[in-house]
Amino acid sequence: MNEEDDRLVSVLPIHFSNALSTGVQLHQFPLLTRPLQVPPSASASGKRIRARLKPSSRRFEVHVPVDTRPEVWNVERSNELGAARMEDDKEKNQEQEKLKQREGDPPRLTEVRLRSEPVPHQGAYVLGIVRDGE
């Protein structure tokens, strides 16, 4: 990168305020390697990304439907992971997820669950909002 590529594009006035500080939460998913979006196969069947806040445990969960296209989906592994999630939820006394299954079929994994973990605050966070050029 040279000086020509690193040129000043605009100057914005900055106004500091703590007005939003009590209602802002920061959620990062550092291991997520692609944009958080509904896979094409799930979108075609009307599935959406869902989220829920669990105030008593101070957790935030995002539920993303899985991509069931044959070229990227392994049915056997889905059954294994669905059974493991059901056991894990029972052990942790969590609300049972609605795992899609027919009578006699093993539980299948139908979504990926991204769950928050509390991290101690280090430093100060700043949120910037640009509105009408300011």
Q: How confident is the model at residue 33 (pLDDT cuts 50, 70, 90)?
A: confident
At residue 24, the pLDDT reads: 74
At residue 45, the pLDDT reads: 86
Neighbour-count burial of 48, counting CB atoms closer than 10 A to its CB (0-12 exposed, 13-18 middle, 19+ buried): exposed
132: alpha, beta or left, given left = phi > 0 and alpha = psi -120 to 50?
Answer: left
**Contact call for residues 27 and 116 (beta carbons, < 8 A):** yes
Q: What is the pLDDT of residues 49-92, one digit of tens each?
A: 999 988 888 888 888 898 888 888 888 888 888 888 888 777 77
Q: What percent of the chain has a predicted confidence (pLDDT) above 70?
A: 87
Average pLDDT value over all residues in the chain: 79
Judged by DSSP in three states, 23 sits in helix
Planar angle of CA 117, 85, 96, nearest 5 degrees: 90
More reliable by pLDDT, 28 or 72: 72
This prediction's pTM: 0.60
Q: Which of 1-15, 60-74, 78-92, 101-115 has the highest mean pLDDT?
A: 60-74
User: Is residue 99 pLDDT above 50, yes or no?
Assistant: no
Paired strand residues for 60? 53
Least confident stretch, 18-27, 44-53, 71-80? 18-27
